[in-house]
Amino acid sequence: DAGITQSPRYKITETGRQVTLMCHQTWSHSYMFWYRQDLGHGLRLIYYSAAADITDKGEVPDGYVVSRSKTENFPLTLESATRSQTSVYFCASSVFGSGSYNEQFFGPGTRLTVL
Amino acid sequence: TQLLEQSPQFLSIQEGENLTVYCNSSSVFSSLQWYRQEPGEGPVLLVTVVTGGEVKKLKRLTFQFGDARKDSSLHITAAQPGDTGLYLCAGNFYSGAGSYQLTFGKGTKLSVIP
């Protein structure tokens, strides 16, 4: 079934470890986004990508790395996890063009706990 | 930085009551979206408003975009328990290099009591 999927759905790791969160979409949307959602802060943009091999920073990029070698995949890597990166992470995709206004379609989220 | 302030943060009402959620900013947005999020799931788009003063209706939900495209409201008539959830507004703005971003309000957590 078409859509946007994230894996894993839950992850517990330790401080200092590298963690990669996966995101896959089947719509061939050009734009993809990574957000984190925290109580008191709402959804904040980490990184986004306009197309394969084109990425840019969002509001809170420090400590994160992204890549996009294929249109359908947009992995997010925490190079050395910290407790402050404990959060729920959402991937989203959107299509731009005539009649489109950056309407975003979200994945189910990954709940990450850093001990 | 584009900021969106959403109010109220929490709202608990009885089934059948009406309610309004507000989304305000000092920034102008090219469009504004409303999302609804259930626990354990990602946000789901409800509506996009584009033109200043625009009003859109989705069954018992009425969305309005301010004339200056800086604010928006969501009005629910005769709320039902199924309306329970987190409502998020998001402003779409040009971030440069041909790209647009969304900035989200912190959300309104609505509970409708049967």
Beta-bridge partners for A22: A7
Query: Residue B112: how many CB atoms within 10 A of its CB?
Result: 20
Q: What is the pLDDT of residues A68-109, one digit of tens each?
A: 999 999 999 999 999 999 999 999 999 765 556 889 999 999
CB nearest to A101's CB, from B43, B50, B101 = B50
Q: What is the pLDDT of residues B56-97, one digit of tens each?
A: 999 999 999 999 999 999 999 999 999 999 999 999 988 877
Q: Does A27 touch chain B (CB under 8 A)?
A: no
Q: For chain A, what is the mean pLDDT?
A: 93
Query: Residue B11: how many CB atoms within 10 A of its CB?
Result: 18
CB nearest to A48's CB, from B44, B101, B103 = B101
Confidence of residue A43 (pLDDT cuts 50, 70, 90): very high
**Lowest pLDDT segment from A46-50, A61-65, B67-71, B99-103:** B99-103
- For residue A31, the chain B residues in CB contact (below 8 A) are 99
Residue B10: the pLDDT is 96
User: B102–A58: do the CB atoms touch at under 8 Å?
Assistant: no
Token readout for B64 is 């309005």
In B, minimum Cα distance to A41 occurs at B106
Token readout for A82 is 């910290």
Beta-bridge partners for B35: B45, B88
CB B111 within 8 A of CB B14: no
Chain B residues contacting A via beta carbons under 8 Å: 1, 30-31, 33, 40-45, 48, 50, 88, 90, 92, 97-107
Q: Helix, strand or coil for residue B81? A: helix
Residue A1: the pLDDT is 59
Distance CA A115, CA A81 (A): 9
Residue A2: the pLDDT is 64
When pLDDT is averaged across residues B13-37 and rounded to a whole number, the result is 96
Which segments within chain B are labelled E, that is strand?
A: 5-7, 10-14, 19-24, 31-37, 44-49, 55-58, 61-65, 71-76, 85-96, 99-104, 108-113
pLDDT of B15 strictly over 90: yes
User: B97–A56: do the CB atoms touch at under 8 Å?
Assistant: yes
Expressed in angstroms, the distance from the first to the final Cα of chain B is: 40
Residue A13 exposed, middle or buried by CB count within 10 Å (0-12, 13-18, 19+): middle
